Amino acid sequence: MRSTLGGIAAVTDGIDVGVDVAAPIVRMRPAVYARAAATAAAITDPDPQVHVDGIEAAVDAGYDHVYTHRIGDDQETLVDMYRKEVLPSFS
């Protein structure tokens, strides 16, 4: 999985690709969380264009990192969709 994410990150310039962690290692001020909650969204739609639009909205709101995670064991399906249909929109 890490090599797949590394490969995707290596061919994209517009956004950073990363993985989620369960416990943050940096304490943030409540205002940071409030801003994130006001502009963040969980995209569950299978349509790749919905993901592209969501990422563009996050970038327009000032974010420079977008984290993607699929709940469950089948991470490869999401990674393949991003590699083929989402990330090329940001190259």
Q: State which amino acid sits at residue 65.
A: H
Top pLDDT among 2 and 74 is at 74
Summarised one tens digit per residue, pLDDT across range 3-58 is 555 666 666 666 665 555 555 556 667 776 666 666 666 788 889 999 999 888 88
Q: Is 29 helix (H, G, I), strand (E, B) or coil?
A: coil
Read off the pLDDT of each residue in 67-82 and give the average, rounded to a whole number.
87
The confidence score (pLDDT) of residue 49 equals 95
The confidence score (pLDDT) of residue 87 equals 93
The confidence score (pLDDT) of residue 13 equals 65
pLDDT category of residue 80 using cuts at 50, 70 and 90: very high
The confidence score (pLDDT) of residue 69 equals 80
Rounded to whole angstroms, how far apart are CA atoms 29 and 46? Answer: 33
Task: Give the residue extent of every domain in the chain.
Answer: 2-90
